[in-house]
């Protein structure tokens, strides 16, 4: 049977060479058939084994060890071809296998010598590699009859081929995730079997969870040696059998004698993972932390909030001041985070960021240690960078994922504003908090650890978010109120109630209702200071609309004066409730602090109930200090008829100017 198969290969080779020499358009039959065989071999045998192994590993949680599973192979010859389903003449050689989890597995488990789940996975992975190696050995010896040219064709399908390296391709490869997981520096093996083996090795043999820093170095060293042994043996075997061809190194590269010796033998993705195991572990920890952060930002409900900060207003209003609060010593209360509500997402992300920094501090002892590999010494800086990247993720994901709500829903905008203020507050001292914790006086992280540069972006996002929402609310107030009182100034000459006056009252009620609705959304979210400034801004918008109409009125009747005075009093009372729903006097006092137009609005309200004598007296008392001379003169002319007292008062105002 072997001689007949060899004769068939020789005949197909001759036909293939004839097709090429005659420029025939027909495909190379031999290569086509081997490619089909390779695809079927991968789809029906190799892929299911690898997929099942990866599934078993990913289903394990905690510190559970993957059970050792070995395969027992038997090779038999079937002399009666009629019993087979295929139309084969002559005897056939059949390779059979079955799983074993008995004494052999127990012996291998004892040979590992520890209970580490990660070394257990690597040992189990060696059984899978051995399975693939046995299948390829059978194909090499029994099917291809040790012909390297045929093995090379199958290797191109299963493992892929190398490509010549160039500056551009090397740069693009270094930026890809495949390169992080284990791509060759001298070419790319992108066949389905190689890609799956690299992926399974990455997922199952490299821990994604944090390992104790006390035995991190020894644990990774043990796993690395196990990985090197298994992958080097496998890749050396497939290289020798012709399934893979070792790529040539670039003439521009400079390697040590030992490195060149190893590169000449193995420059393949699997061995790349083993050679750079510490670096791969650092990258996987980084990707795992960033993945946890991304899932936290995308999958958790952004509307859930938690309370943070210090209730400064409560301490300010108690009769004892701040003497019981150590943060108030020497005015330090200016630097505390005022009580507000932030999203649970932001709180959890900050916790994750702290965990990354804690792990970075624990691993900083490896920096500069001559007994530790250079790759492992990069773990601490990698985790520090990851902590910073978590904060970048927040600024990239939240405004995008919730952009519509942030721009239209006041509460969501306030939550994002508070989140940014929360992060900016902590970033001011976050670097100083961890800087001194890093080991070693010459540790570069002690010199460069900082998060202060992240403060301006967070503050800018906070200002842009809340400022944009306030501007939108001001536009809505203008639409609600402004359109209804556009003719209010002309109606003030009337001596009796008119439609425009009713519209003015309705508009005021609607405007206050709108601001009160915002107050309910923001009072429990924003800090007292930000809430006061936001409400003051919106109340000023409402006041400005009415002041503009009254100041421009050409004539104001006595009845209209009483109406304006009553309307303005209603406006100030309604606005005071926004600042203090319990005490009207307290709300009035806060309103004077937060609203730039409060005193001006109140002064005009008082003016409407005054006589010329009262106005003259009020001028001496400074009641109208928020109203300019020309504005007050215009009001006097609109309200009072021509008289000697009016002329004297106007002359006095003119002389003061």
DSSP helix/strand/coil, 250: coil
Q: What is the CATH number of the domain that holds 610?
A: 1.10.357.150
Same domain, 494 and 619: yes
Q: Does residue 131 lie in a domain region? A: yes
Q: Which of 446, 429, 449 is nearest to 385 (CA)?
A: 449
**Final residue before a domain boundary, out of 461, 494, 526:** 461
Burial 555-565 (b: 16+ CB within 10 A, else e): ebbeebbebbb
Give dist(CA 564, CA 561) in Å, integer. 5
Q: What is the 3-state secondary structure (H, E, C) of 580-597?
A: CCCCHHHHHHHHHHHCCC
Decide if 7 is inside a domain. no
Are the CB atoms for 329 and 363 separated by under 8 Å? no
> What pTM value is reported for the model?
0.82
CA distance 609 to 619: 15
Closest CA to 289 of 369, 379, 220: 379
The answer on 175 and 287 residing in a single domain is no
pLDDT computed for residue 517 by the predictor = 96
Residue 174 pLDDT: 41
Residues 266, 326 within the same domain:
no
Residue 22 lies in a domain: no
Tell me: do 507 and 643 sit in the same domain. yes
Are 369 and 510 members of one domain?
A: no
Domain boundary residue among 253, 275, 297? 275
Residue 329 included in any domain: yes
Domain co-membership, 457 together with 595: no
Question: Mean pLDDT by 10-residue block, N- to C-terminus, for the chain (657 residues)?
Answer: 68 66 56 90 93 78 51 76 55 80 48 59 88 93 88 91 44 44 54 92 88 83 89 89 68 52 60 88 94 96 95 59 48 81 97 95 79 78 95 97 95 98 96 86 79 96 97 96 92 92 96 97 95 97 96 94 96 96 93 95 95 92 92 93 91 80
What is the pLDDT at residue 178? 52
Task: Give 305's strand partners.
Answer: 343
* Domain match, 624 and 563 both: yes
Residues 586 and 528 in one domain: yes
Domain ends where: 242, 275, 308?
Answer: 275
Integer Cα distance of 619 and 611 in angstroms: 12
**DSSP-derived 3-state class of residue 70:** strand
With respect to residue 238, please indicate whether it lies within any of the assigned structural domains.
yes
According to the model, what pLDDT value does residue 107 have?
47
Q: Is residue 333 part of a domain?
A: yes
> Given the structure tokens 């270094």, which residue do they identify?
174
d(CA 92, CA 74): 14
Q: In which element (H, E) is residue 273 found?
A: helix 269-275
pLDDT at 558: 94
Task: Say if residue 251 is in the same domain as residue 312.
Answer: no
Question: Do 291 and 267 share a domain, yes or no?
Answer: no
Q: Residue 574 domain-assigned?
A: yes
Question: Phi, psi (5° rounding) for residue 573?
Answer: -65, -45
Q: Is residue 4 part of a domain?
A: no
The confidence score (pLDDT) of residue 556 equals 94
Q: Which of 197, 160, 155 is nearest to 37 (CA)?
A: 155
Range of the domain at 121: 31-275
Q: Are residues 312 and 338 in the same domain?
A: yes
Shared domain check, 164 and 255: yes
4 Cβ neighbours under 8 A, 6+ residues apart: 90
Q: Which two tokens stand for residue 465?
A: 């978010």
Domain count, the chain: 3
Place of tokens 């004077």: 592
pLDDT of residue 317: 54
């Amino acid at each position: 049977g072997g001689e007949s198969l060899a004769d068939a290969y020789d005949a197909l080779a001759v036909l293939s060479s004839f097709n090429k020499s005659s420029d025939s358009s027909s495909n190379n039959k031999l290569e086509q058939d081997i490619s089909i065989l390779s695809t079927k071999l991968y789809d029906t045998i190799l892929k299911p084994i690898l997929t099942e192994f990866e599934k078993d590993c990913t289903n394990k949680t905690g510190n559970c060890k993957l059970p050792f599973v070995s395969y027992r192979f038997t090779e038999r010859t079937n002399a009666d071809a009629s019993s087979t389903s295929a139309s084969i003449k002559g005897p056939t050689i059949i390779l059979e296998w079955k799983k074993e989890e008995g004494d052999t597995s127990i012996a291998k488990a004892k040979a590992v010598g520890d209970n580490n789940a990660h070394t257990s996975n690597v040992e189990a992975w060696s059984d899978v590699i051995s399975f693939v190696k046995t299948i390829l050995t059978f194909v090499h010896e029994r099917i291809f009859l040790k012909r390297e040219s045929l093995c090379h064709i199958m290797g191109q399908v299963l493992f892929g081929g190398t490509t010549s390296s160039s500056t551009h391709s090397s740069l693009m490869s270094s930026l890809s995730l495949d390169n992080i997981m284990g791509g060759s520096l001298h070419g790319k093996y992108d066949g389905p079997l190689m890609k799956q083996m690299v992926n399974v090795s990455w997922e199952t043999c490299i821990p994604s969870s944090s390992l104790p820093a006390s035995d991190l170095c020894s644990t990774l060293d043990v796993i690395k040696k196990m990985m090197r042994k298994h992958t080097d043996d496998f890749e050396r075997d497939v290289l020798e059998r012709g399934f893979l061809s070792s790529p040539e190194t670039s003439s521009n590269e400079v390697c040590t004698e030992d490195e060149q010796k190893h590169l000449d033998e193995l420059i393949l993705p699997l061995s790349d993972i083993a050679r750079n195991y510490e670096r791969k572990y650092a990258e996987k920890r980084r990707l795992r932390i960033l993945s946890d952060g991304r899932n936290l930002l995308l999958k958790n409900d952004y509307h859930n909030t938690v309370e943070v900060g210090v209730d400064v207003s409560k301490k300010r209003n108690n009769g004892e001041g701040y003497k019981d609060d150590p943060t108030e010593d020497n005015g330090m209360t200016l630097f505390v985070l005022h009580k507000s509500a932030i999203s649970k997402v932001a709180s959890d992300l900050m916790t994750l960021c702290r965990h990354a920094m804690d792990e970075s501090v624990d691993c900083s002892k490896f920096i500069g240690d001559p007994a530790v590999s250079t790759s492992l010494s990069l773990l601490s800086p990698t985790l520090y960078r990851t902590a910073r990247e978590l904060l970048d993720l927040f600024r990239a994901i939240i405004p995008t994922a919730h952009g519509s709500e942030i721009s239209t829903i006041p509460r969501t905008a306030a939550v994002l504003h508070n989140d940014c203020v929360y992060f900016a507050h902590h970033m001011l001292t976050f670097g100083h908090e961890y800087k001194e914790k890093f080991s070693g006086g010459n540790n570069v992280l002690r010199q460069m650890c900082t998060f202060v540069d992240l403060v301006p972006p967070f503050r800018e996002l906070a200002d842009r978010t809340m400022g944009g929402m306030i501007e939108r609310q001001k536009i809505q107030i203008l639409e609600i109120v402004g359109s209804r009182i556009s003719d209010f100034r002309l109606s003030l000459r009337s001596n009796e109630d008119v439609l425009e006056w009713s519209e003015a009252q309705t508009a005021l009620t609607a405007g206050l209702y709108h601001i009160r609705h915002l107050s309910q959304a923001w009072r429990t979210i924003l800090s007292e200071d930000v809430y006061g400034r936001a409400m003051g801004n919106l109340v000023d918008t409402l006041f400005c609309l009415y002041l503009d109409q009254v100041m421009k009125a050409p004539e104001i009747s006595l009845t209209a004066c009483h109406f304006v005075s009553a309307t303005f009093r209603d406006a100030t009372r309604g606005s005071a409730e926004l600042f203090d729903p319990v005490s009207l006097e307290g709300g009035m006092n806060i309103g004077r602090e937060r609203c730039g137009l409060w005193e001006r609005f109140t002064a005009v309200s008082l003016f409407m109930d005054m006589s010329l004598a009262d106005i003259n007296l009020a001028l001496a008392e400074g009641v109208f200090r928020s109203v300019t001379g020309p504005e007050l003169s215009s009001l006097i002319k609109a309200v009072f008829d021509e008289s000697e007292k009016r002329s004297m008062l106007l002359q006095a105002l003119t002389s003061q100017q």
